[in-house]
Structure 1
Amino acid sequence: MTDMANARAPLPGGNASVTADAAWRSLLDEVTTWPKPGLVSHVDSGSHTDMTAETFRKSADAISPFFSDLYRCGFHGGTLPALREIGLAAERHMLAATGGVNTHRGAIWALGLLSAARGWRDASGDTASCCDIVRKVWGQAILATPADPASHGGGTQRRYGAGGARTEAAWGFPTIRSVGLPALHQGRQLRPGDQQAARVQCCMALIAVLEDTNLLHRGGREGLAFARSQARTFLDDGGVGNAAWSARAARIHRRFVARGLSPGGAADGLAICLFLERQDR
């Protein structure tokens, strides 16, 4: 049987649908987080003129079934090309749902790999994290595959030498693990019971450190440096532990919008953190 045939074989236990539901919920939690600098939310469209929160909801609905397929592909030991085939099908459904707007290409890549890793782990009985499984099962193949030259990430990689989402995934999402998840947990400690605040803390922490190819594409090195500086100042002044955190984050949001900056890599990183937490639970 081919990888794709194996990928669609029925599985007991329902973990494929559980994984897809976790991805869907994580994407919706990301878009309903505010204020995230320059990013689309239920409050406004940030630095974007071609998409709204409703666009993201339609996209999440369209792509969520493919995370089940990616789980199954990983469960049956699928190769990176087999995963990519499913991911490209998810992209086509995303574009059909959004009228051609790229809302979740980065999330399809990252959450797709992690969904496959969850399947691989369930089949093998491995106790490693999903991040480690991505690195050891598909990491070398990811590094050996050239970036898509038509994508923003591929273009900025050539221009600035930025590794971006491909490198982060190949090495097992080290920034997510060392920065994103700890910041999410810290946000909950600073604002107990306020999940919105915890997600803003996570997003700001990722903006402060990521070499975000979305920011490089929109603002070059200057834009990336500005974004990192703004996020770092927010964190250094107490983050969401500051009594005025929401107003301060909203001001940073407006500064990003004025410059046309959108840290899409940090938005994807937030969704990844939320997804990984749900897998652990």
Structure 2
Amino acid sequence: MTALQVKHTQLSLAECLADLAVEVLIDEADLSPKPGLVDRRGNGAHDDLHLGLMHSSALSLWPAFKEMAEAACEHGEVNQALRETLGRIGREGEVEMLRVTGGVNTHRGAIWALGLLCAAAALDDQALDAGQVTLRAARIAMLDDRALPVTTESHGQQVCRTFGLPGAREQAQLGFPAIIQHGLPQLLRSRSERAGEQNARLDALLAIMSQLTDTCVLYRAGLSGLDCMQGGARAVIEAGGCVSLEGRRLLRDLDNDMLRLRASPGGAADLLAATLFLDRLAPALHAPIGSV
């Protein structure tokens, strides 16, 4: 028997969801040119990140995403026990991520967003419309994690409190409006206009950036930096997106502004990955990788 004749074992639902979560994180990292973010060109506004580290980080999270989906299958409904199980798995996944990256926070926000979406998808794999999945994710996010350790505030929590603006927690509790109202519609619109897949993904990122109160940018550059990000992203979209010559010029200007401010829209990048997850979810589960 040759290797080509060996049949693959059918993947479980949890394994398919974990595969998809890691896949979209890698695709988000590779997408170029992203303003201020790590991509194939370089490290963006970061001194401690590079593309290889982003890939390693994404791969390290596969077990956590699988366990979150399995937990949702086991609990079978949104309840307090599921919320606290997901919180524990997420914290364990973060520890492993930091071990792999040598202490660098690469995907903390993505663990939250994609972990919720993996669990929400696993709760009902027959209701995979983006709106249905994000509604279930919101119901999970509305529950408090009573086992959450009392620790120093994260950077995102600090700026949310300082500026009185919503962050990643509120985005999830509202059903990810940055994705449902902006990122996903722009992705589909740009595809329908034949912008090309890479341009469509960049346009989706910019649509998210144009609206999101990105705490990564707020922490590094304050309200003026946030205004710069949102206005610059909006200008690219209004100029016809990344497929247009003027849009590309404005994208370059936005990239230069983010580099000058040392501000990287990491929150928007996490939500782009989540956008790609929701976009591919139904097809991925209907024809899972590794199936016979």
The normalised TM-score by structure 1 is 0.88
Partner of 1:95 in structure 2?
98
Quick check: 2:38–2:46 contact (8 Å CA) kept in 1?
yes
Match for residue 225 of structure 1 among 202, 227, 232: 227
Question: How many residues of Structure 1 are paired with residues of Structure 2 in the alignment?
Answer: 266
Partner of 1:3 in structure 2?
none
Deviant stretches of 4+, over 4 Å:
125-128, 142-149
1:79 aligns with 2:82: yes
Q: Give the partner amino acid of 1:82.
A: T
Quick check: 1:38–1:47 contact (8 Å CA) kept in 2?
yes
Counterparts of 1:1-281 in structure 2, within 5 Å, are: 14-77=12-75, 78-122=81-125, 129-136=132-139, 138-142=140-144, 149-192=152-195, 194-281=196-283
Q: Please give the alpha-carbon distance, in whole angstroms, between the structure 2 residues aligned to 1:53 and 1:158.
A: 31
Q: Please give the alpha-carbon distance, in whole angstroms, between the structure 1 residues aligned to 2:150 and 2:193.
A: 39
Quick check: 2:179–2:275 contact (8 Å CA) kept in 1?
yes
Q: Which digits, 9 at most, give the CA deviation of each residue in 1:141-173, with x for residues without a partner?
A: 159989964211111111011211101111211
SS at match of 1:150: coil
Gaps of 5+ in 2: 1-9, 76-80, 284-292
Q: Give the partner amino acid of 1:113.
A: L
Residue 81 of structure 1: CA displacement? 1.1
Q: Please give the alpha-carbon distance, in whole angstroms, between the structure 2 residues aligned to 1:147 and 1:131.
A: 28
Q: Which digits, 9 at most, give the CA deviation of each residue in 1:111-138, with x for residues without a partner?
A: 001101111113xx657721011123x1
Q: Please give the alpha-carbon distance, in whole angstroms, between the structure 2 residues aligned to 1:99 and 1:248.
A: 35
Residues 142 and 266 (structure 1), Cα distance of their counterparts in 2 relative to 1, 3 Å cut: farther
Residue 80 of structure 1: CA displacement? 1.1
Quick check: 2:167–2:214 contact (8 Å CA) kept in 1?
yes
SS at match of 1:79: helix
Residue 35 of structure 1: CA displacement? 1.3
- Which structure features the higher share of helix residues? 1
Residue 186 of structure 1: CA displacement? 1.8
Gaps of 5+ in 1: 1-11
Residue 247 of structure 1: CA displacement? 4.3
Q: Please give the alpha-carbon distance, in whole angstroms, between the structure 1 residues aligned to 2:219 and 2:58.
A: 24
Residues 148 and 214 (structure 1), Cα distance of their counterparts in 2 relative to 1, 3 Å cut: farther
Q: Give the partner amino acid of 2:174.
A: W
Q: Percent identity?
A: 36
Q: Please give the alpha-carbon distance, in whole angstroms, between the structure 1 residues aligned to 2:42 and 2:211.
A: 25
Q: Give the partner amino acid of 2:53.
A: T
Q: Please give the alpha-carbon distance, in whole angstroms, between the structure 1 residues aligned to 2:180 and 2:62.
A: 24
Residues 32 and 171 (structure 1), Cα distance of their counterparts in 2 relative to 1, 3 Å cut: same
Residue 240 of structure 1: CA displacement? 2.2
Q: Please give the alpha-carbon distance, in whole angstroms, between the structure 1 residues aligned to 2:165 and 2:244.
A: 33
Partner of 2:4 in structure 1?
none
Q: Give the partner amino acid of 1:60.
A: A
Residue 255 of structure 1: CA displacement? 1.7
Residues 88 and 139 (structure 1), Cα distance of their counterparts in 2 relative to 1, 3 Å cut: closer
**Bigger Cα displacement from structure 2, 15-24 vs 251-260:** 251-260
Q: Give the partner amino acid of 1:83.
A: L
Q: Please give the alpha-carbon distance, in whole angstroms, between the structure 1 residues aligned to 2:55 and 2:127.
A: 34
Quick check: 1:121–1:133 contact (8 Å CA) kept in 2?
no
